[in-house]
Amino acid sequence: MARFIFITGGVVSSLGKGLMAASLAALLQARGYRVRIRKFDPYLNVDPGTMSPYQHGEVYVTDDGAETDLDLGHYERFTGVAARQSDNVTSGRIYQQIITRERRGDYLGATVQVIPHVTDAIKAFAMTDVDDLDFVLCEIGGTVGDIESLPFIEAIRQLRNDVGRTNTVFIHVTLVPYIAAAGELKTKPTQHSVRELTSLGIQPDILLCRTEHPLPEGERAKIALFCNVRKEAVIQALDASSIYAVPLQYHAEGLDNEVLRAFGMEPGSPPDLGRWDDIIDRQKNIEGEVTIGVVGKYVGLPDAYKSLHEALIHGGLANRVKVRINWIDAELFEQPESDVAAALEPMHAILVPGGFGERGSEGKIASVKFARERKVPFFGICLGMQMACIEGARNTAGIADATSSEFGSGGSPIVGIITEWMSEEGLQKREAGGDLGGTMRLGAYEATLSGNSHVASIYGTTSISERHRHRYEVNAHYKAPLEAGGLVFSGMSPDGELPEIVERPDHPWFVGVQFHPELKSKPFDPHPLFASFIEAAVKQSRLV
């Protein structure tokens, strides 16, 4: 039977519960255990697909087409276990499911209540597909005390009774702030947070204390005394030099040993952390440095491009170089006085990421033009590929009014909304004016690469599968004039209808992809496109 680890947070948000869950899972995995991580999100959105990146950060997409919380990206990057739709649930999805059942009459006239109906639905989610696992880690979003998270807290309290106390462990992540004026670490916020949690029926087994300063033995003993846990179960979590150093740091603090002891298991032999040692070695012993200009729309919040940021770092690991990312607001290049060349000349490579809407599009097109003309390595992802096609149409294919139907009617729609496509489930259709949520081309789709193409040499194969998240596609009817202008369609959907990859053979490194390769990159297995892109940036740095 699978054992459950429930992770809650207190005091403030953004303490790193997701990173902690991913790191603990990686440590247990390094001991040979089979793990899976799940996220309970208390907000009422059905999923984050319609939320602004400024509200929620990036939307992480799984192979099976779920739009999920960005923490699932951490889970995948740290464990290599592919996330799926059943690994993320929101209050909105739970209530949607319950109301649908109530309208059908499934409850046979009963009064539908938070307890037991909502809590039962949450428990059913937690217990789905766990038979082949040793540990299931469940992260509860938000902060203990939030009204939104109360049904989830109650559900995991009940789950301990359902599956047995020896099969559950509660970990509470708290803050131990340093008050500079007093010159002291303060344990009272942690005490109050644990008191709030225990008032809801949950006594934590382990406390993970986030702190900027080492936690003295006296404070550790004080927290243990007032929070009713063993002193060894009070784990300090100092800021790390890299997120990929966190598993090593938590192991050194004894987190994985303490979790196993809480389950009544002997820790046994230490975990094999060789892959994490290698990652840190590559970060510390670099052989160069490159600067990547990312020209995007949501650059004010780096979490909007979290997987992209990490994939670039992974490309640096593959090449043993430090990657500096210069986040550039695409709208700046739309100002009359803007100097695109002055801003981009210091860059060793340019990347235009995905996004939605017209804002900043002309700035992105200007960035593509600069990269093409100056022979600077260029990588366009999703909307970035579409902007590369529009730029090529305007400036090398003679289609001066090239545009996207996403930006309004008129002009030549080099990019248009996709109304139907084939998936493993069969023909998928979208109606104009329909719901926005969950109506994109989502999840993993196969593509066929041209055998003599640059991307085929990068992948080492002509058949790939990558994750998508978009409503608009490059119009294949414009393939001939675009290719005549030097922009080659080197990757297509298996039926030959949908363009997946474009490249310029006369350019040192110019690739646009309709999918999101960053979603499948891992520190111990960098995505080949990012590894090759950073390699091209290294070569460019030697020319500057």
Q: Of 251, 279, 307, which closes a domain?
A: 279
Greater confidence (543 vs 506) lies with 506
Residue 86 near residue 44, CB atoms below 8 Å: no
**Which member of 209, 227, 382, 389 is catalytic?**
382
**φ, ψ (nearest 5 deg) of residue 279:** -60, -45
Angle at 163 between CA 158 and CA 165, to 5 degrees: 80
Three-class SS state of 36 = strand
Burial class (CB in 10 A: 0-12, 13-18, 19+), 342: exposed
pLDDT > 70: percent of the chain: 96
Full domain range(s) for residue 417: 286-543
pLDDT of residue 433: 52
319 shares its domain with 237: no
518 is catalytic: yes
Q: Of 261, 279, 297, which closes a domain?
A: 279
391 is catalytic: no
Going by their DSSP bridges, the two strands 135-140 and 3-9 should be labelled as parallel
The CA distance from 45 to 114, in Å, is 18
Burial class (CB in 10 A: 0-12, 13-18, 19+), 242: middle
477 is catalytic: no
Q: Of 236, 253, 279, which closes a domain?
A: 279
Kindly indicate the confidence band of residue 190, based on its pLDDT and cuts at 50, 70 and 90: very high
Task: List the alpha helices (DSSP H) in 16-105.
Answer: 17-30, 53-56, 71-79, 91-104
pLDDT of residue 78: 97
Number of domains in the chain: 2
301 shares its domain with 364: yes
The CA distance from 168 to 271, in Å, is 21
CATH assignment at residue 187:
3.40.50.300
Interval 72-119: pLDDT, tens = 999 999 999 999 999 999 999 999 999 999 999 998 989 999 999 999
Interval 106-153: pLDDT, tens = 989 899 999 999 999 999 999 998 989 999 999 999 999 899 999 999
Would you say residue 271 has pLDDT above 60? yes
191 shares its domain with 227: yes
Three-class SS state of 136 = strand
204 shares its domain with 245: yes
404 shares its domain with 345: yes
197 shares its domain with 302: no
Which residues share a beta bridge with 391?
none
Going by their DSSP bridges, the two strands 472-474 and 412-417 should be labelled as antiparallel
**Which member of 56, 74, 516, 527 is catalytic?**
516
272 shares its domain with 316: no
Of 36-40, 335-339, 367-371, 489-493, the poorest mean pLDDT is in: 335-339
**Which member of 310, 391, 518, 535 is catalytic?**
518
CATH assignment at residue 349:
3.40.50.880
Closest CA to 364 of 293, 296, 292: 296
